[in-house]
Amino acid sequence: MIDVFYKIKALHEAGCKIVLHCFDYGRGQQDELLKYCTEVNYYPRKMSIAGLFSRLPYIVVSRNSAALLQNLLKDEAAVLFEGLHSCYFLSNPLLKKKLKIVRTHNIEHDYYSNLAKSEKNLIKKFYFKREAIKLKRFENVLQEANKIAAISANDTYHFKRNHPLVHTVSAFHPYNRVAIKEGLGNYALYHGNLAVAENNLGALYLVNEVFCHINFPLIIAGSQPSRALKEAVKKYSHITLKGDISTNEINDLIENAHINVLPTFQATGIKLKLLAALYSGRHCLVNNPMVANTGLEEICIVKDSPLEMMKAIELLKNKEMDKQMIALRKTILEKSFSNQYNASILMQMITS
């Protein structure tokens, strides 16, 4: 949602007229969108149990609306499909004459397979496995797109195997400039939506494999932490869990941390929390799956094993963030990861 919102804003600022079609999740209509879109249409998502038995992925078949198709046919404008899950009508013959661009957010079947591996709940695990199989089969529909805008270099390589016109368009985000505090902080931070099994696993890894062996303070921040995570944190006085806090509070924690430590065990897409840490945080300690082939490796400290991470924290804890390191961040981020740069690529895809 963050990627989509700031993409809309950046395209609007680049002179693009946008008619937005979106599915309502019960949040109601958002007046903010009318600042950037000439028209906003809302559709109910079909969240019925019957959809689970469809040959199509549930995330696709539940976004099927006859009204949406009719509205798409009202003009000759290009259509930007946000994610594979929005592609129910991509192969519809009525849209054959339209320019169709799919913005992929992940290699979805890999993403769901990894969700299944991380998930402890057996019902959810079964759902993710089934959805992964369906998504792998459904991915062939991308051949009906004129162009694909992939979110990372790894994803671009994957989709180019079956499609001739794939461009890398990195994630859109809330940051207009690099704004990092110099000097030292006094804690490390891990943040993310802890209701997502992958993020919960990352937090547990840091508690049980890394920070349990060193005395540097760690704060874990995010919504809906699991019982297992709460119990793990209780064992250590230097580890703090801040669950269900506001976005502003998380942003403050990112800015004031000495080290933003962000391991992941799922190398898909590009993580917005990584961009948040790089645009506004000091040192950023990650593992290879978080940054491999993203172009961000040079401005992160990359360590894969718990021992390597512990050694890196010991070296970093007294190392100030200086002007030279901040300048390097600005060079890399404001050139290839800015919203203006990515909007220009999308505009070229739409107009050429």
CA angle at 17 for the pair 103 and 347, rounded to the nearest 5°: 45
* pLDDT at residue 211, rounded to an integer: 97
Give the phi and the psi of residue 260 in degrees, each rounded to 5: -95, 115
**Contacts of 165 by beta carbon, 8 Å cutoff, 6+ apart:** 146, 147, 148
Q: Which helix (H) or strand (E) holds 311?
A: helix 306-316
Whether the domain at 2-171+337-351 and the domain at 188-335 fall into the same CATH topology = yes
**How far apart, in Å, are the Cα atoms of 177 and each of 6, 50, 252, 279, 286?**
14, 46, 16, 7, 22
Instruction: Give the percent of the chain with pLDDT over 70.
Output: 99
Q: Which fold has domain 188-335?
A: Rossmann fold (3.40.50)
Taking the C-alpha atoms of residue 262 and residue 246, their distance in angstroms, rounded to an integer, is: 19
* pLDDT at residue 98, rounded to an integer: 95
* pLDDT at residue 51, rounded to an integer: 81
Low-confidence residues in the chain, pLDDT < 50:
none
- 74 burial (CB, 10 Å; 0-12 / 13-18 / 19+) is exposed
Tell me the pairing of strands 218-222 and 147-150: unpaired
DSSP three-state, residue 235:
coil
Residue 252 near residue 280, CB atoms below 8 Å: no
DSSP sequence for 199-243:
HHHHHHHIIIIIGGGS-S-EEEEESS--HHHHHHHHT-TTEEEEE
**Contacts of 237 by beta carbon, 8 Å cutoff, 6+ apart:** none
DSSP sequence for 75-124:
S---EEEESGGG-TTTT-GGGTTS-EEEEE-S-HHHHHHHHHHH--SHHH
Structure tokens at 30: 């958002």
* pLDDT at residue 7, rounded to an integer: 97
Q: What is the CATH number of domain 2-171+337-351?
A: 3.40.50.2000
* pLDDT at residue 14, rounded to an integer: 94
* pLDDT at residue 269, rounded to an integer: 64
Q: Which helix (H) or strand (E) holds 190?
A: strand 188-191
Domain boundaries of the chain, sorted by first residue:
2-171+337-351, 188-335
Taking the C-alpha atoms of residue 238 and residue 175, their distance in angstroms, rounded to an integer, is: 31
Q: What is the pTM of this model?
A: 0.86
* pLDDT at residue 44, rounded to an integer: 92
- The one-letter amino acid code at 346 reads L
